[in-house]
Structure 1
Amino acid sequence: MEKVRKSLKISIYTQKGGVGKSTITTLLASVLHYRLGYNVLVMDCDFPQHSLSNMRERDMKSIMESDYHKRAAMKQFQSINKKAYPVIKSKADSALDLAYDYVDRNPVEPDIIFFDLPGTANTQGVLSALKAMDFILSPITADRLVVESTLAFCEAFLALPVAGSDEHEQALWLFWNQVDGREKTGLYEAYNSVIQDLGLSIMKSNVGDSKRFRKETDDTSNYVFRSSLLPAEPQLLKATRMDLFIKEFLKIINH
């Protein structure tokens, strides 16, 4: 049980649907595990849709059906000499125990465990799982309802007492996702000012909006973006500013 404490527990979490928490989790996990040398474990607790487990199944099927992706996968797994990161299906209230159990049973300890939790905070186990995280990153979009509900949730969540003796340092960061380059920057500056007045942390880098976020690896396209078996290609990370986001993410978790 003790050794899991070294694994960082991280959740990309928001109560609002459609703002990209599962997509960002996958992009981060794949770049960290396949390209940057981290060992990653993903807990898919988003019951009942379990979108990350279903994505892994689709990715495996796509790789078998596409010569381009099959070659890319073979080359990758030979060069990094490790397996794909595990995606473990669970409910929110058993996710921590299942993660600890995985770590106890496996010789390679994950550096990072991502928890993809249901957006409904009153789902059993969600708040206690979030309280156990080392880092929570919450995506927001330039939509008044999204911003207001996220800020209200963050304030309420940070005010919650910690249960039992598991008091540990926890950091909560907001970040802008699905940013349209044509939107007025004044809008973001006004929101950032409100966020800072509330004493909340917001990342400097933001993630651009792109059709690529909605596109998975398939047999029609010779590039990789959203995949649980291959990392997004560097030029695509750059085009969506995910490269800068990942750099800042690593700075935050390693400081």
Structure 2
Amino acid sequence: MMPKTNTMKTTIISCASEKGGSGKTTINIILATNLFFKHAKKVVLIDLDNPQYSVYKKRQRDLKELSEAEQQTAKFYPIEKSTVKELDSIIKTYYGTVDFIILDFPGNLNEEMVKGLLYVEHIFIPFFLDELEINSTVIFYKTLKNNFLENDGRVLRGVNLFFNRYEKIKVNKFAAIRRGFKKSGMPLMQSVVMDRTIYREKYRNTLQPIPESRENGEMELNEFINEVIEILND
């Protein structure tokens, strides 16, 4: 599937969910932008949300916010729009030349999108405090585990779940879910993504990372990104 001669170790990852509105696209953009700008990683973000291509269009809007002079000097990672049929070719173009290929899938993971998951090595599943969302997440995790993780020819190396839109006021409810997941042996990340509008309005930017001195410390966004990096380095 992948070229055998590479000059760089490339890892293919995705924040994915089988439900729309889970926040996966926001996290994929934040991860790509901050891995590139703050962690000096070579990244390509592939938008598979055909035909909307919301990530690709977001890059175009972000570029329009810059002056012509800024556009000429700006450094940024590539964003490619793709169909599942084109994915193999695009991955081969970048594989071995970047640290991370990040795939952004549509909200509804249909049969065609499952084919795209065959390329992914690490999947991060966001979910929030909603009974239907939790049930859907458990089913999605078990599907990945049974069909990808426990497959002898698997590419998938790890699946990690994390709380998205975490609210401190509901800490006891989140803690109860954490205990239940731990008892079931489901891999829930220690870090969480808080319920903050600024993530969607300010930090979901393809050209600018999280500002220095912001979102640092316990239960902040940089802690989540650092834990993702730790998982990928294991």
Q: Same fold (TM over 0.5)?
A: yes
**Which residue of 2 is the match for residue 228 of structure 1?**
206
List alignment gaps of at least 5 residues for structure 1. 78-82, 217-224
Asked if residue 135 in structure 1 is aligned to residue 130 in structure 2, the reply is: no
Deviation at 1:170, TM superposition (A): 1.2
Q: Percent identity?
A: 27
**Which residue of 2 is the match for residue 119 of structure 1?**
107
- Cα deviations across residues 81-113 of structure 1 (Å, max 9, x unaligned)? xx3110000013432331112447xxxx11000
Distance in 1 separating the partners of 2:30 and 2:148: 32
Deviation at 1:214, TM superposition (A): 2.6
Q: Contact 1:92/1:117 (CA < 8 Å) preserved in 2?
A: no
Deviation at 1:123, TM superposition (A): 4.3
Asked if residue 242 in structure 1 is aligned to residue 221 in structure 2, the reply is: yes
Query: CA-atom RMSD, angstroms?
Result: 2.7
Distance 1:181 1:63, change over 3 A: farther
Distance 1:130 1:36, change over 3 A: same
- Cα deviations across residues 113-136 of structure 1 (Å, max 9, x unaligned)? 000011222241x21221321100
Deviation at 1:187, TM superposition (A): 1.0
Q: Contact 2:8/2:98 (CA < 8 Å) preserved in 1?
A: no
Q: Contact 1:4/1:103 (CA < 8 Å) preserved in 2?
A: no
Distance 1:123 1:46, change over 3 A: farther
Distance in 2 separating the partners of 1:178 and 1:215: 14
Asked if residue 40 in structure 1 is aligned to residue 51 in structure 2, the reply is: no
**Which residue of 2 is the match for residue 220 of structure 1?**
none
Q: Contact 1:135/1:171 (CA < 8 Å) preserved in 2?
A: yes
Distance 1:198 1:129, change over 3 A: farther
Q: Contact 1:92/1:118 (CA < 8 Å) preserved in 2?
A: no
Deviation at 1:179, TM superposition (A): 0.9
Q: Superposition pairs for residues 158-237 of structure 1, below 5 Å?
A: 158-160=145-147, 166-168=153-155, 170-183=157-170, 185-216=171-202, 225-237=203-215
- Cα deviations across residues 40-69 of structure 1 (Å, max 9, x unaligned)? 01111111211110110000001228x9xx
Distance in 2 separating the partners of 1:241 and 1:102: 31
Match of 1:99 among 87, 91, 104: 91
Deviation at 1:4, TM superposition (A): 8.5
Distance in 2 separating the partners of 1:150 and 1:56: 29
Look up the SS of the partner of 2:169 in the other structure.
Answer: coil
Distance in 2 separating the partners of 1:148 and 1:159: 17
Look up the SS of the partner of 1:202 in the other structure.
Answer: coil
Aligned length: 230
Q: Superposition pairs for residues 61-72 of structure 1, below 5 Å?
A: 61-64=64-67, 70=70
Which one-letter code corresponds to 2:50 in the other structure? F
Which one-letter code corresponds to 1:238 in the other structure? N
List alignment gaps of at least 5 residues for structure 2. none
- Cα deviations across residues 196-249 of structure 1 (Å, max 9, x unaligned)? 233220100101111112314xxxxxxxx2210111213443387111101111
